[in-house]
Structures are given as C-alpha cells and as structure tokens.
Structure 1
Amino acid sequence: MPRLILLLLAMLLPGCEALSPRPASIDQRLAALPTAGAAVERPVTIRWNDHLVPWVEAETDRDLFFALGLVHGHLRGAQVALMRLAARGRLSEVAGPFATEIDHALRILDFGRAAPAIRAAWPEETRALMAAFVAGLNHATMNARRPPPEFALLGLSPEPFTEDDLLAIGRLAGTDVNWLGYFALLPARGTPGFARLWERTVQAGSSATEAALDRRLALVREILAGTSRAGSNTMAVAGRRSASGGALIASDPHLGLNLPNLWLAAGMRSPSFHAAGLMVPGLPILGVGRNPEIGWGGTNMRAASSDLFDVSALPPEAFRSETVRIRQRLWFTATRDVRTTPHGPVLTDASVIPRRPGDVLALRWVGHEPTDEITALLAAARARDGAQFRAAFGTFGVSAQNMLWAHRDGSIGQFHATTIPDRRAIPREDPVLDARDPAATAPWQRLLRTPDLPFVVNPREGYLASANNRPEALGGRAPPVLGFFFSDSDRVERLREMLAATPRATPADLAAMQADTRSPRAARLAAALAQRMDGIAEASPLLAALRGWDGDYTEDSRAAVAFEVLLARLVPLLQPEERQGETGNRRAPESQWNFLTSFLLRDLDALPPERRAAVLRQAAGVAATDFAALGTWGEMHRLRVSHWLVNLPVVGGAFAYGDFPVGGSRETPMKTSHGLVTGRHVAAFGSMARHVSDMADPDANWFVLWGGQDGWLGSAAFADQVPMWRERRSIRIPLRPETVARDFPRATRLEPRR
C-alpha cells in the first residue's frame, strides 16, 4: 500500500494545475496563440467572436488549412493528443498498467491499419491540404508557450502529429457501433436460448450499446461510443414548406457528453472554400455545416461495416503474428501478440473482449480498407448542388452515414454514404460466420458504395428526417441488407410528426424540435401497462401519475419518474428462464428500448394470468416505494458538466464541475440516454451540439455546443456555452464578409516569414 500511495503521488503532484487551473480570459487565450513563424504563403486573418469561434480568411487554400490546423492545435491540443493515444493503443503511457489490456485490444483493432494505403491513393490536392493542416497543428503543438494543463498530470510531452495519426483518429471516429452489440452478445453464444436472443435482437434492431461490461471493457466502450459518430438527428425542409422560401437544414449530433466537446465550430473562406460548420478536432473536414449553396448533416446509419468470423479451424499458416510493445507509465514496457488472418485481426486475443472459452474470432471491418473520407468531405464542402454533394461521397467508407442536404433553390435530398459488404441476408442463428464457408465470405468480394445505394430528391412530403432508424426505401428503392442494430423509430416518428404539423417552418421551429422531449412510444407503453395494472392496489400511486401522460420527459415531470421506475422493476422479472441470473442486470440486452417496445407487452401477456398478476403486483409495489422517495424527472435525470478526466481514479471528482436537471430520455429528439433507473443518475450520451441553417440567407446559421470551443482548462470559453445549450440559445456563424467582420471583432494576423 505505501508503494501504491507513492506511485499515485508521483503521477499526480505534477498535475496540480490541471486539478486547480488558472483562469484564462478570451484575450489571454488569443495572446497565447503561437503566430510567430507561421508557415503561410500570404497574409491570413483569423477572426474571433466572444466564444472563441474562429473565422479564417485566407488568400490560398493551403494557407486556410494551415490556419485551421493551428486553431485546432491551440484550442484542442490536449484532446487531439489523447485521441491519438486511444487511436494508437497508447493509453498505458498515461494510465500505466491499468490500461495495458485496453491498449492490447486497441492495437488489435488497429485504427491506423489502412493509413499508408489511403495516403498512397490521395489526389494531389488532398495530399497538399492535409500536409498544410498537419503543419499548422504541429506549429501550435510544438510552439505553445506551455503545454496544456493535462499534460503534466498525465505525464505527456508535446509530440508532433503525422498524417497517419490523424487518419487513425478519423478511423476511431468512424468506429462501427455494431461492435458494442457484438460485445453484449458474445458471452451468451452457445448457451440455452441464444438463438432466440439473437432472433429477437435482430427483430428489435437493438443496438445493446448499454450492455453491462467489466470496468476495462466499459472503458473500451466509452472510448468507442464516446468518440464515434454514433448517433444524431437531421431534418431537411423544402423551400415550399419554409417561411422564407429557402430550404432549411438542422442537425444535432449525439455523442459522449464530457468536455471538451467532440465538435469544434468554425467559419472559413479561401479561393475554393467558403463555409461554416462543425469540425472533428484534429481533422480538416466539416462534418455538419453549409456553404452559400448547400447545407448538410448526417446521422449514423448503424450499418454493419464489420463481420465476425470463426477462424478456429483455419490452418496455422493463415495466421500472421506480430509482437507489439506497450509502454506503461512508471512501469516496465509490456509485450503482447497481435494476430491477423485474411478475415481480419483476431479480436478474441484481447483479454477484455468477452467471448466463450475457446472462441477464436476475427473481425473484418471496412475501416481496414483504403476508403477516403477526407477527400470525400473536402469535395462535399465545395458542392454546389445535391448531385455534386452526393457524388463527393463515392470514396466514403466509415462510419456509414444517412446524409441529408438542403439547397439554396429550395431542394432537399437524402442518400446513404458508406462502403459496405454486399449482404443478401442476415445470419439466422448467430452473428459469427464460418470463415471456411464461401457463402459467408462472398459479400466481401463486392463492396457496395454510395453510388450503388438508394437516394431521394424532393420527396412528396416536402421534408426529410433521419434518426439512426432502420433504413427505409429512398426514391422508391428498398435498401439492401445494411445491418442488424438500429435505434428505435421513436425519434424519427416524432420528428416527422412535428414537421408535418408545421406547414411554414422557420429556423426557430426546427430549433424547438431539436429540444423536444416527448416519446410517443413511451406514452403508448405507459398507457398499456397502466391498463394491465388496473385494479392492483399496489399500483395506485403509479396509475395516478401515468393517467393521461403524453410521453413528455420534461424536467418537472412526475409521470416520467413513475414510468421509468416501473420499467426498472418490471423488466428483470420478465427475463427468460435461461437468463434469470441476470435479473439484477439493468443493462442486459433485454433492457434496451428496442426490446422494450418490441417485446415487453408481448412477453407480459404471454404469462399465465396468475403469474402475470403476481409479476405486476411485485413490480408495482417496489416501484411505488421508489416513486414516493423521488421528485421530478429533472431531479432524478442529470446532465453533468465534467471533463473527460472525471473517469480518472482518485482525482476524477476534481473534474466534475456540477450537474443540472435535464429533460429527455433514450429516444426523445433531445436525446439524453440512460438505462433502467431507479434513482438519481447522469446521462452520459446524447444531444451535445446543434446546428440550424436557412439556405435563403447566407448569414442564417446557428450553432451551439454542450461545453465550449476551448479545451484549455480554466479558459473562459471552456464551458461558456452550457447556459446557452440549456436555454436553447445559439451562436450565429454568418457567411457574408461584412457580417463576419461585425460579429467576429477580434482579429489574429498570420504573416509570411521574411
């Protein structure tokens, strides 16, 4: 124990500034930007507003991307450095031996595997712009007056980035969310009832992203789910249904809710680029935004860009083994073996990955193929119409996106942006395929790309909505088999309901829809349960609260509390016999919302009448006790303001800065995700950025982040947008030069070196 205490002190004492950061004003943060020696060819102006949103004006495209890299490195240097460690499987360098097996799993996933082939295939323009961005990022990283406060705490030193590092970060952001579903299901393979569980999982489309995991695998899940573009809502409204006559576009990405935000807002103009939007820190692309002609947003398709293969029967020569060295902070370097096969790396060699004893499973992933998202999104940012925009995604691979666009002329459209195996069917009994079966490997012989997939332009309804729901027909064409796990249709149904009821929509209308907290399916499920509990004395307090509830998870709702505690007490009692050992597991696959809406009433009604009455009586009795001890939904359901370092042992509490009541639920348009709950809890995943644009007006673009622009601990712009996010206010990022000059009054000048 004394040695452990000394080890912790050695790790933590240098990090006192991170634990108690010095305040830094906006002007101080701008003064710290390392402009001297910037490698620009012509003068560059970076304008700033009061929230440290940059608007970059450059005379060459190359200088624009250098300046953007400089901005990313200055505002989010520590965040990008940590994303590199995760993408490269180097977390042990800051976390010590605790993270060794996590790093082994990340080395097996090998997010940088395709980087050399991607670089080799880049067009010359992409090569030049990426090099400029990396140069700007490294200028900020290596020339800062002092490193970010987190560096001392984590034992990091400034280290230049490579293009391969950024491609690995991009692949991390493109993680296949289906992996999380696989992790939840793999331990149950071969057990009684697994075939039924898989069948129901596919039928429900449950993503099982909340499955119970041990601590290290839970951290892997947080890395994958929290950094990937795992969820979102996007709406597009045609000009004939908008108040201005211009098409409208609105997006609100759903990601991890820790700070810094996983988006960075920016505006830009150069000879080829003129746009405003949200960028992934460390990547030179706009994932959400608009230019003068077209606006765009995307939602994760939840498409299965991966397959698991049983490779246990392959001959020894089919395996290639490499020993990797994992440096551990304040400890010896560890070594681990990474094996690969023609069907991908052997995932089950990682000790943190759940599996049956004896399983040898390989993961084949499109992310290990040389698809080119950077070139695609650079072209998309300059598209002038819907056809050009869709064509830009011909090289796009991961993560698969439902892309929506809105044009200045009032047109709207949607298409699937992905590269995916040409599957003809979903596996019937088991998600794991036999590597020796030609029928199982055949889909990988022909990869479908964006031009091969359905799309729609100007639908009859005059609006489009996407919310990670099961793929639907577009333009009269049914989609191929794209995956297994999707979000419930609650959000998309609610969005369409609101859009249909708004004949002349405004940007304010779309912003209100983004903040909507109603779940129609929750209302229907609550009413059905109340009907079945009628006459049960123990249920009286719950019935009184649920009567007439419309499914709105407002902060002051008591009905939402009654419904959620009832679910938490009822669902474990309905577990199938073979899973009774998991009755205390509130994150088992059967607890997911898709399962609840698909099977809860069906399973309840299938019980003999006496057993059904007993189950309802037991659940209602305990739930009523819970309900009496609780207040409103907002008092129970919280949104925490915290740095990602809150996950550190011992000192993590220093990085939690408070929490607030919040409305919403798992599948409300304003998503604030949670599992089964019976008390106060924190929503860790959900709506964390918002964008709305009216294409009739180049200046009509509004953005807000949960948190702020600046990742520097102590900065005035670290969490200054939290009140705006809570109060549903936004920041305008215009495109007209005269408006930019007025709204972004501070200016930083980059001058060519003499």
Structure 2
Amino acid sequence: MNITFRDSLFSGLGLASRFPFLLRPRSLSVSDRLAAFPTGKMPLHAPAEVRFDDLLIPYVHAEDDRDLPFLLGVVHAFLRLGQMELFRATATGRLCELFGAPAMRLDASLRRMGLARAVPAMLASLSPATSAWIERYAQGVSFMAAKSRGLSPETDFYQSAARPWSATDVLAVGRLISSDINWLFWLVRLRAYRDPGWPGLWERMTSLARCAAPSFVPDANDAADALWSTLGASQKAGSNCVAVAGSRTKNGAGLLAGDAHVQLSLPPLWCVAALKSPGFAAAGMTIPGVPAVLVGRNRHIAWGGTNMLALQSIFYDVSRLPTSAFREVEEKATVRFCGQRALRYRECDFGPVISDAPLLAALNLPPLALSWRGHRPSDEIGAMLAVNRAENFGEFRAAFEPWAVSGQHFLYADAHGGIGQVAALEFDPAASRAALDFLGDPADPAHAWGEKHRSTELPAVFAPEEGLLVSANNPAFGCDPALTLFEQSDDRYHRLRERILAATPFGPEQAFSMQQDTHCATSLTLARRIRLAALRIGPPAGTEALLDALAAWDGRYETDSRGAAALELTAHALARRVFPPRHGHGPTAVLMASPAALPLLAEDVGECGPLVLDNLAPALAEAAPRFARYPEWGALHHVVLKHPLASLPIAGRAFAHGREKSPGGTLTVHKTAIPLVGGPHDATYGATARHVHDLADEDESFVSLLGGQDGVAGSESFLSFAKLWRRGEYVTLPLRLATAKKRFPHAIPILPGGEP
C-alpha cells in the first residue's frame, strides 16, 4: 500500500469541496424531520403504521410479521443512516471510500483484523427464518437510503459512494458490534510486554480478575455446572445490569435495569425503538444496522447484558514459522477521489498477520497472527430474535445456542417474579491458556483451538435464593482456565448490591437513583490510607486543605466534590512516583491508563512500605497547588460529545458540542472513565444509555440516552435526550399499541405497494 502525494492532494481537494456544505448543518425541527419520512406506499404485505414521539422514538406497528424487519430498517436509516454507513465501512475496511487517501492506513489495518471474514459462511448457514428477516431489514435500509439524498450534509457526505444494503452488510455490521473488546487491551499492553517489569505487573493485574466476586455459584448437582465448578478460578464482565426478583419488588413481578458503557459519541451507539406485529412485540435499545432489540423487553420477560471481556482471541507469535507458511493476499480498495488502489497483507494458518498493519508499525512487534472465534460462523442475530420472542427462562437460555461472539452476561427477569442469568458465548480454554503466557505459541498443543463449550453447556442460574443478580465487571461464576484475565475492581458490583439490598421494596425509582450513583469504595479507601500515611510522615506545609478534603470526603464523585478532586490529583502524583520503580516506565504507562491503577495504588499505600513513604511528601506537595486551582471534581472532569465528522479540519467544528462538567469516575456505577491524570481532562468512555423494565406492566419501561435519537446534526432531536440525562430523567417506552397511540402523537400510515 502506497499513499502518493497525488492521492493525498486529490483527497484533500475533494474533501475540501464538501466543506462548505458541512460547515452549516441546517436547523431542523421535529416537524421538519418527520416531513422527510417517506409516506404513501412501500413494498409491504399489509398496511402498517410508524408512530413517533417528540423525541423521535419510533413505535413500529406492522399487520404482517414479514413487514416488521423492513420497517425497522426504514426507521434505522431515517434516524441514523450516516452512522450506519460509517459502521458498514468500518466493518469491511472501506473507510477510504468515504474519506479518501487519509483513511487508507486505517483500512489496511482494519482489513487485517478480518472482522467480516466469516460473513459468507454465516450467510450460507442461517436458518430460513433468520435469513428472511435480515434480508427484509436490508431492503428497508436500502429503500430509505434511496430517498435520503439531500436529507443532511453529513448523510450526503457518507452516502456519496453508497451501495444498496444487503444481508452481507448487516452481518458485517453485526460482526463489528461483536468484535473482541480485548483487542484494545492487548494492543495497549503490547507496548510494554517485553519490558523486564511486565511479568510482575501482568500477574498483579490479572490477580484482580482471579479474586473478583462471582454473580452466582454454579449448582454442583447439575452435570454441566458441576463440570465447570470443579475446574475452579474466574472470569469477567462489563457495563451494569441487575435483575431483581418479585420477592424484593413492590408488586411481585421481576425488575431489570441496565446501563451500557461504550465510547461517548454523537449520535450514541444506541437507538430506542418499540416493535409490534401479530407474532412479535418488543421494546428497548437497538443498534442501527442490527435488526433486533438487543436489550429490552417483551410481554413476558426483560433482558439486559454486559460484556464479560471473554477470552476469545489468540495472538500467536509466528516469528519462528518458515517463510513458506505465509501467504500474501491482495485486495482492491476504492479510494474516494483517487480510484482503485491495492492493499496487500500476509496471512497464515493461524490467522491474518496483524503486526504488518500500518497503524501497529510503531510498536515494533514480532510477527503476530490473530485467531478470533469470530473468524468462524455463528448466528448472534438469530439468537437475539429468539430472545426477543422468549416467554420463559428455558426459552431464553436455549436462544443462545448459536451465539459465539462477543461473550456477554445476559440477565433475565419475568412477569412472574423470576430472575436468571446466562453466559452467552462459545468458549475454548485454549484462548485462556495462551493468554496466561500473553502470546500464543503455534507449536504448543495447549494453545490450539479445538475444545469448545457453547452457552447452553455453561453454568446458568434461575431463581437464586437471594432474589437478586448483579453483573458489573465481575465474573458470573468461577472456572479454570478463566474466561477472562482482564482486571477490574469489584466497586460497581458491590455498590449495586448495596443499593438493592438497602431498598425494600425495590422499584423503578430506586433503579433510577442507583444508576446515577457515583460512590467508589476503592477511592475512599485510598483517600483514607493516604491521609493516615501522611500523618505518619508528617504532612508537608501547604497541604492542609488537600488533606482536609480527603478526610471529609464521602467517596462520591459529584461535580461539586472537593474530596474526589483531591484524591485523583494526589493519586496521579503518587502513582507516577511509586509505579515506575516497581514496574518500569513502559508497564507504568499501561497501568496509569488501566482501571487497575486505583486498586493497585490502594494496595501499595495500604502496605505503607518505604517506596510509598519516601514519595508521599513530594506527591502531596505536587498535588496541593493543583487542588487549589481545581478544588472541585467538576473543574477537572468533563464530557465532550462529538460527531465522527468533528475530526475533519475546519468543518469539524460544527460537529463538536460543548465541554460540560460531569459526575462519575472510572470505577463508579455512573461511569465516565479516565486514566490517572493530574489536571483537567475529558472522559471518552462510560454510561451512554439506561433502561429499566418493571414486568408488572407492559408499559412500565423507561429509557434515557446521552445524546439523542436523531443522527442528523442540526436536528432538534440530535441532543434531545441530553438535558434529560443531566437531570436524571427517563422517558416511558410503552409496549401496548393503545398506549403508544396516546403517547406517540406523530402517526405515519403506510400502505402496501410494489413487490415486497
């Protein structure tokens, strides 16, 4: 791959030619946006209706089941077509079709990951029902896309090279959404793994995973559970989700509440929708490009999930393979404004050689091949459609039989008061054994794929005696080899349990408050240990205000918290003195950006050894003047929401939205994650969507987004949820059609016309 000066010049001129249209997104009211929704006839089997509320939440009602996925595709494309085109281009490594030559290095790197490698085999293995559903969804997206020219500047920008959507595109986006989040952890750690201090730090970090509290204990009387129970150790999850049994709720029905932690962006990853046809009814959170309700409810049950950070990839060190073991693959890339260019990469029997990726060249890695479970076919969309239709826990658990990636904890609640949890993944212990050695060895049989355990073979729980289930970066159950090794603290898990146990009975209002909780026990412990250590050495002059703030702190990361600001500034100053002598500078850089930083620093300060005592006074002296300048957490901690086009020069200014104070931190229930830093900063990852479902009433579901429903910049609904989010308010999402007709005033009737 060669990017010539001519390529860069043509791309620059071509992109610049679009800037005048991007500089001024038009202001669009809800009425303006609804006027752009196609009316009249669509290729349907029967009449249908799409209703919107004032936030542009859709309620899709089809009189024929076959029309429901088509209309969901229309609605997704109407609200988020630009986002969907970006997803499609990312999944297939075709960003240069949108952004020209500057994106070629990124495309070359994405293609090496092989996100869509399994799609042809997946398409061939789908059940007829799932295949028909996906195909109809793609037809709906294409129908809307064809009518979207001139809809908005960014939509036209993304659509310039757009092709009609197909089932292949939908499956590719599904694989993008299912990609292994651990790749990010591995790539960060690869910067330091050859440092002499790395093995010791890796052991400390993975010990947090091995010591984490499980959500439930497998039943040793169950054959499958007994197998895993006797194997011994642990694994991990992501985001927050709780299920509360009817024995703890106000009305005897189950309650489920969850909030997803992803990258902070505009539009948000999630899109709220309700869907109804004679044989289907579900409401909750969807992802544009994926034709199912991923977290939400139907008439009988509710479901929510958290990423378990499961080990489903092996990075093989292929440096000792002979040259003959490698094959060169050449693919064509259409580069916007520049025509076609060739992209070449190597692969071997152990996967694509990702160390050749242009964006990884600076890491100076040995030849590494990536083998990911997602490189082989599976059917996550079919699994989710079965979940959407499930009426009890048996059907819910069975739905995950074809699910492989990415590994998720799925929690369950039902209208009869029952709750449950399953581990949705296909797990091969080889990935865990290779991870313990950090890199896989092609010659080691223990690192060879072959043993697989499907979701329905893994432990699950239904009706736990305690009446609650919590998943928040903690293992679902213990096993050896571990399903995950990536470090997190148990703060959110224990805090969620505390909030549920303290609220009797537990209802939606208690769930709303719980999801906005900013308390962190690890940080509070660290603050107290720092103060005690300071008293032991005699605090340096000028640090009194800092230490007083630590002493008075209640552990909450609210925007007006003095203690949170004092703790984070002191922790940064101390960690950058304590970690390098113990672990080395390279591993320290990894640790400072990790959620393990505060727990491990609290451990070090608790031991109160010479390394801490010798460095505490200068750390306090460094933090004190910074605390005087930034005396509250909100002065340090901000959230900035950006559209992907905000990265464009000049024109990008119109797509970035103001910096705001934000509560929360890396280890809090209301998560706004950051590395350890010593000054003002912007969180880039955290809570972006919340959902609460009371199974006592089909219309008692509540949602909130950080951002808005509409993906069109300038739209009144682009940020319509943001103010509600800041105030901690939720919007009701009904499932009954009669209720939707009252609460969703904007009705668009659609008649069948044309060949469906």
Choose from 85, 101, 115 the match for 2:105: 101
Provide the C-alpha distance between the structure 2 equivalents of 1:644 and 1:356, rounded to a whole number of angstroms: 26
Residue type of the alignment partner of 1:452: E
Q: 1:115 to 1:619 in 2, by over 3 A?
A: same
Match of 2:318 in 1: 311
Q: Please list the CA deviations of residues 60-83 of structure 1 after superposition, one character each: whole Å capped at 9, or x if unmatched.
A: 111011111000111100000011
1:278 to 2:282 alignment: no
Asked whether 1:366 is paired with 2:369, we answer no
* Match runs of 1:551-570 below 5 Å: 551-570=555-574
* Contact 2:316 2:368 (8 Å CA) reproduced: yes
Q: Tell me, what secondary structure is at the counterpart of 2:627?
A: helix
After superposition, give the CA deviation of every residue in 1:112-152 in whole Å (9 maximum; x if it has no partner): 11111111111111111111100000000112252531145
Indicate yes or no: 2:726 matched with 1:726.
yes
CA gap of 1:479–1:716, structure 2 versus 1, over 3 A, is farther
Higher mean C-alpha deviation, range 122-131 or range 151-160 = 151-160
* Deviation for aligned residue 1:199: 1.9
| Partner residue in 2 for 1:177 | 181
Deviations 1:308-334 (A, max 9, x none): 111222344433321123333344644
Aligned counterparts of 1:126 and 1:508: Cα–Cα separation in 2: 37
Alpha-carbon offset, residue 400 of structure 1? 0.8
Q: In the alignment, is the contact (CA less than 8 A) between 1:77 and 1:148 conserved in 2?
A: no
What CA deviation, in whole Å up to 9, does each residue of 1:558-606 have, x standing for no partner?
11000011111111111334865459x7x52255232431355337847
AA at the equivalent of 1:44: A
* 1:646 to partner: Cα distance: 2.0
Q: Per the alignment, do residues 746 and 425 of structure 1 end up closer, same or farther by CA in structure 2, a change over 3 Å counting? A: closer
Q: Is 2:544 aligned against 1:537?
A: no
Report sequence identity in percent: 37
Higher deviation after alignment, 652-661 or 457-466: 652-661
Unaligned 5+ runs, structure 1:
207-228
Of the candidates 266, 275, 278, which is equivalent to residue 259 of structure 1?
266
1:380 aligns with 2:384: no
State the secondary structure of the residue aligned to 2:49.
strand
Please name the residue that 2:603 is paired with: 601
Shift of 1:261: 1.0
Give, as a single letter, the amino acid of the residue that structure 2 aligns with 1:698: E
Paired residue for 1:292? 299
Matched, 1:403 2:406: no
Contact 1:199–1:429 at 8 Å: present in 2 too?
no
Q: Does the aligned pair in 1 maintain the 2:578–2:612 contact within 8 Å?
A: no
For 1:660, the equivalent position in structure 2 comes to 660
Q: Is the 8 A contact 2:11 2:100 kept in 1?
A: no
| Whole-angstrom CA distance in 2 between matches of 1:582 and 1:318 | 33
In structure 2, relative to structure 1, the CA distance for the partners of 1:284 and 1:144 (3 Å cut) is same
The equivalent of 1:670 in structure 2 is: 670
What is the CA-CA distance between 1:412 and the residue it aligns to? 0.2
252 and 706 in structure 1: CA distance in 2 versus 1, 3 angstrom threshold = same
Q: CA deviation at 1:354?
A: 5.9
Cα gap change, 1:639 to 1:189, in 2 (>3 Å)? closer
Say whether residues 1:81 and 2:85 are aligned partners: yes
What do residues 610-651 of structure 1 show as CA deviations (whole Å, max 9, x unaligned)? x54331111110100110111321222112233222223343
Distance 2:362 2:466 in 1: 47
Q: Considering only aligned residues, what root-mean-square deviation do their CA atoms show, in Å?
A: 2.4
1:101-140 correspondence to structure 2 within 5 Å: 101-140=105-144
* Inter-partner Cα distance in structure 1 for 2:14 and 2:128: 48
Any idea what SS the aligned residue of 2:79 has?
A: helix
Partner of 1:596, secondary structure, is helix
Alignment match, 1:500: 501
Pick one of 43, 51, 55 that aligns with 1:51.
55
TM-score for both structures, normalised by structure 1: 0.91
Instruction: Indicate conservation of the 8 Å contact 1:256/1:685, yes or no.
Output: yes
Kindly indicate whether residue 438 of structure 2 is the aligned counterpart of residue 434 of structure 1.
no
2:423 to 399, 411, 416: 416
Q: Secondary structure at the residue paired with 2:599?
A: helix
Tell me the distance in 2 between the aligned counterparts of 1:154 and 1:372.
29
Distance 1:70 1:750 in 2: 12
Give the 3-state SS of the residue equivalent to 1:675 in structure 2: coil
Aligned to 2:227: none
Q: Which is further off, 273-282 or 634-643?
A: 634-643
Task: Quote the residue 2:590 is aligned against.
Answer: 588
> Which is further off, 394-403 or 87-96?
87-96
- The aligned counterpart of 1:696 is 696
CA 1:594–1:573 in 2, change beyond 3 Å: closer, same or farther? same
Relative distance call for 1:408 and 1:99 in structure 2 (3 A) is same
Within-5 A mapping of 1:98-247: 98-153=102-157, 156-205=160-209, 231-247=238-254
Deviation at 1:480, TM superposition (A): 5.2
8 Å CA contact retained: 1:201, 1:595: no
Whether the 8 Å contact between 1:709 and 1:718 is mirrored in structure 2 is yes
Q: Distance in 2 between matches of 1:649 and 1:675?
A: 27
TM score, norm. by length of structure 2: 0.91
Higher mean alpha-carbon deviation, 648-657 vs 421-430, is at 421-430
**1:396-439: CA deviation from partner (whole Å, max 9, x where unpaired):** 11111100010000000011001121349645863101101112
1:12 to 13, 16, 20: 16
Specify the alignment match of 1:463 in structure 2: 468
Q: Which moved more, 1:311-320 or 1:543-552?
A: 311-320
Structure 2: gaps spanning 5 or more residues: 211-235
